[in-house]
Amino acid sequence: MKDKTTAEITEDYYDSKDANNFYQNIWSPDYTHVGTYKDEEVSIEEASLAMIKRMVRLIPKIKKSTKLLDLGSGYGGTARFIAKTYECSITCVNISEAQNKINNKLNKEAGLDEKITVVKANFEELPFQRDSFDLVWSQDAFLHSDHKDLIFREVSRVIKNEGRFIFTDFIKNEDSSPESLEPILQRLQLNDLGTFKQYDRLARNEDMAKVYNKDMPDMMIIHYSKVLEKLKADYKSITKKVSKKYIDDMMEGLQNWIDGAEAGHISWALFQYQKKKVWI
């Protein structure tokens, strides 16, 4: 029997009933990404929104005419905030049909279904024409790809000249050993993580210049610690909505990621690149 691809594993995971019940009820109804915290009193929801606003401040002003592509869009919380605030058109690309269904439902309820288009696709092979978007955005999604070179190639193809590519992702330390990463990667059945050097190199290879990189392991530690604390505090009620095995595995996995970040094996970071003007 043929082994599943990383994309198929990711799709199965996020399509599962347990995963959707967990993220919708425990993490956030809108967001599945790490947030940014001014202090530990900030809620998960507030921190997630604060991270979106922080990323918006780092890019050129979003206009009504801006065409934005959100890769690995999850439940579409980022797209709804940006579409509502800036009235621009957004295309969400996501591999999970279950998440896409919820995204479409929430968009319609918010009256944003004409502004936001949800497409089921793999971000390693985008179904769009060259030079289709002014801005490509992603939050905590590229860790699920074993072919990060294809992501950068596709982004460079669909983004317009001088367009921005901004994203967050989990990365590893260049010196991290396979043994130190093994329990970390196991949580989401990952094979590896990217690095600062790798992303900078892939960007250069695809005619994109580095604008801004920021290492933020402390934000990941706070965010995952808050989720873990919530799971421990509400364990009995949570395991009525989500299977005990899923929650137990999640708690162990979150602790491994916290420990890995504190030990310097992994981190969470923000990246921004700009497509150079290319004459064809």
- The mean-pLDDT minimum among 2-11, 167-176, 185-194, 229-238 falls in 2-11
Q: Tokens for 213?
A: 């990189």
Whole-angstrom Cα distance, residue 207 to residue 201? 10
Please give the Cα distance from 242 to 71 (Å, whole number): 27
- The mean pLDDT value of the chain amounts to 95
pLDDT band at residue 6, thresholds of 50, 70 and 90?
A: confident
Q: Which of 13-27, 115-129, 156-170, 198-212 has the lowest mean pLDDT?
A: 13-27
Backbone phi and psi for residue 168, each to the nearest 5 degrees, phi listed first: -115, 150
For residue 270, what is the domain's CATH number? 3.40.50.150
Domain that holds residue 249: 6-275
Residue 197 lies in a domain: yes
Mean pLDDT computed over 82-95? 98
Tell whether 146 is covered by a domain: yes
For residue 13, count other CB atoms closer than 10 A to its CB: 15
Q: Does the residue 79 lie in any domain? A: yes
Q: Measure the CA–CA gap between 11 and 231, rounded to whole angstroms.
A: 24
- Residue 280 counted as domain residue: no
d(CA 193, CA 177): 12
Task: Flag whether 1 is in a domain.
Answer: no
Count of the separate structural domains present in the chain: 1
**Separation CA 175–CA 158 (nearest Å):** 33
Question: Dihedrals φ, ψ of 273, to 5°?
Answer: -130, 160
Confidence tier at 1 by pLDDT (50, 70, 90): very low
Q: Is 60 exceeded by the pLDDT of residue 248?
A: yes
Across 13-28, average pLDDT: 90
Helices 97-109 and 6-15, interaxial angle, to 10°? 50
pLDDT digits (tens, 9 = 90+) for 91-103: 999 999 999 999 9
Task: Judge contact between 121 and 95, C-beta under 8 A.
Answer: yes
Residue 155 placed within a domain: yes
| Predicted confidence (pLDDT) at residue 228 exceeds the cutoff of 50 | yes
